[in-house]
Structure 1
């Protein structure tokens, strides 16, 4: 979300398994089905071949704030040490007040700009705590939201600037490395116009390979109802299965803008895409983008018109590259069992690891997730030890248990160990645990239990000992 003259507004692991890819048309069609005029709709079930890795459908009591384990509030007029007025010349102060950011009790999030008696504007801006949203190697990531833009047009809409967008993870805590770290504007709108703008920012500012500060952008109009009069689905699909890599933007399932890796040099593309992203929702007032379309806000601008967000959903597809398949026979309990060789799972994704030996690890492991490994042969001499190669970049105060259960997820664990931050999601250590004596051949479940909803561990491999 950047203007035409300055800096923009401003991992945990992806939360679900990566499975075989589905063509874009199938997903686009699925997305198109949710752009109904209803005020609230459930997020669409992921199409075959896609896995949901994030969802907030904003269910909760009317007047309550967002879930702060999922979202964090940006407040004031800049990031700490960052550019003033969010780098774009906006005039509002962002707050965490429920007068600016709240649930409506009907499954929607409201971000509402307000003006006080002295003419000072406040509004809301939230971003995901997770910064790890990116496609798997050779796969796809889709980020989408069903939104009704502030229902105000004409002179009363002067200065309104709602947006649904993403920033590269290295921006968080730095705030000086834009646009090199990348920005993906899935939806921007100004002045109550019936127009959806989508843009990729990258390279250097001003100018550079990505034409900053304008970026590489495209636009389209909302059909049926205007962007302001009804809900529409705004989506981005980042596709690493194509050559060159593509980032595609959609309105109600229709692709209207595509950015390809070969449009810029390799270094620029890598700097902008070789990392995760976080998601932002906000309504700005004033700044460079509205300034390019007449300016504002002014005395005729009407406060109090919210951006209404039904849900935000992230889907992942494909990847496969190098995942260890389940063995055709029994596994040896006393040799390393690659965590990605599961027979079944819930809530698990795979990704490349930097641990010794390379390959892949499983990640996105949080409370309630599990992975099944069939036919683990413990032999006739009882195993009494369990070892797992784990890493964690969990936030302070976030921890959980890695548990071993035999033959059924409903059976009590035979052993477990606790894990918290190890120094990063690829900072690996081998953790031992005592287990009850186990002989014979069993199906082994790794289960993950935590008192917090956040992802807390990655696992590369595990084995057992006497």
Structure 2
């Protein structure tokens, strides 16, 4: 939760050296709309906000956060901010010029409303051995000085395990791509992780850096492109922060212990855009704070390159796997967040382990035939700690499609203590890409898989 870092965020050291990166076709400051996908990259997802003036956001892409907190979560979003977040088109709307507007407004009684939205997708992460880039071209609220007191725009990400839990921050990871407070001509980029307060990631400050001034013009007066690259192709892994392709801060996985890094990054993330009012970092607004000055967002785009492939956009037309034979877990066509290891189970070979919330395995061309399958079984083992459990889900043709079946698993007596667990699925015929996706309310690893199969 971005909230819990607030009190320490202002202590992020200033004066980080910025490095100019040769410009590519990534969104440059003069870009009028979403750029084309750069050579060598694959576009994973985007929204260009091209709706009519005053229209609502695309709720296939975004969720409105409503009120002063998540349901059952920390009050005032954990930051002490005071605005009520609404889904009103007074606060969150498309402006007809290709922008999303998030506008904080003070009413005649002095009460503030604003907006906060987050992506429906929670699976944004680099492919194994690859790179993920998340970027937005946006203009901060164009207000400075006393008129900006208490205004806190942000473009950021939270780890998937946070959704529905709301109390596991900062261990599940937070990546702040752009933060600004009080109209300062300055940008902060931060990774939050570990425990709070203190811990390996120096919470509530986090592992942060800042750049004084945006390239070419002030941060408030113009659109700029803010980006994060999460690089799994390097050792140690890196998370890099950019403004208009100027690199100003890098976090490396060797800055913390392996468990802290894995808990913070070994899963997908969702994206958040919001303008907070007040809170522990900027302080509260005053009577001089300007009402009705929006943050404008031209686009948000997610790209990946290298490493394993991502899920196919269409199911295969022919099958090379028999759904009713044993499918070895390690025979996947693509994966995210997993590792193979030797198994002591009957038959030997390998299993797929270190499976935690948001991880997945993909198997192409699984042929179910013309008579529907209604059950599946998987050979699983778990040495998870007490209270740690999760689901083994079957999804077809896209990792984000709804599961057609699942079963739950907790500690089986050890990571090589194997048992076969059955589960029911809705009837399936034909040839499909099969995903095993692993879902848990905790960030910890909870299961290993040796093999799985289907039956009628």
Compute the TM-score of the two structures, normalised by the length of structure 1.
0.69
Change in CA separation of 1:300 and 1:137 when aligned onto 2, cut-off 3 Å: same
Find the aligned partners of 1:322 and 1:115 in 2 and give their Cα distance. 44
1:272 to 2:264 alignment: yes
Mapping 1:369-408, distance limit 5 Å: none
1:317 to 2:305 alignment: yes
- SS of the residue corresponding to residue 279 of structure 1 reads strand
Find the aligned partners of 1:422 and 1:249 in 2 and give their Cα distance. 39
Is the contact between residue 207 and residue 213 of structure 1 (CA under 8 Å) also seen in structure 2?
Answer: yes
1:207 to 2:201 alignment: no
Mapping 1:451-466, distance limit 5 Å: 458=435
1:423 to 2:406 alignment: yes
Find the aligned partners of 1:319 and 1:81 in 2 and give their Cα distance. 38
Change in CA separation of 1:299 and 1:268 when aligned onto 2, cut-off 3 Å: same
1:241 to 2:233 alignment: yes
Q: 1:150 aligns to what?
A: 141
Change in CA separation of 1:194 and 1:244 when aligned onto 2, cut-off 3 Å: same
Is the contact between residue 339 and residue 362 of structure 1 (CA under 8 Å) also seen in structure 2?
Answer: no
Find the aligned partners of 1:63 and 1:206 in 2 and give their Cα distance. 42
- Gapped regions of structure 1 (runs ≥ 5): 8-23, 324-329, 343-347, 364-370, 392-398, 404-417, 436-444, 448-456
Change in CA separation of 1:114 and 1:340 when aligned onto 2, cut-off 3 Å: farther
Is the contact between residue 373 and residue 425 of structure 2 (CA under 8 Å) also seen in structure 1?
Answer: yes
- Gapped regions of structure 2 (runs ≥ 5): 10-19, 312-317, 341-349, 354-359, 378-393, 410-421, 438-450
- SS of the residue corresponding to residue 290 of structure 1 reads coil
Change in CA separation of 1:354 and 1:65 when aligned onto 2, cut-off 3 Å: farther
1:171 to 2:162 alignment: yes
Is the contact between residue 329 and residue 351 of structure 2 (CA under 8 Å) also seen in structure 1?
Answer: no
1:29 CA displacement: 2.5
Change in CA separation of 1:389 and 1:101 when aligned onto 2, cut-off 3 Å: farther
Mapping 1:357-368, distance limit 5 Å: 358=352, 361-362=361-362
1:257 to 2:257 alignment: no
Find the aligned partners of 2:123 and 2:286 in 1 and give their Cα distance. 39
Compute the TM-score of the two structures, normalised by the length of structure 2.
0.71
Q: For 2:292, which of 299, 304, 324 is the aligned residue?
A: 304
1:225 CA displacement: 1.7
Find the aligned partners of 1:89 and 1:200 in 2 and give their Cα distance. 20
1:390 CA displacement: 9.6
Change in CA separation of 1:304 and 1:267 when aligned onto 2, cut-off 3 Å: same
1:121 CA displacement: 0.5
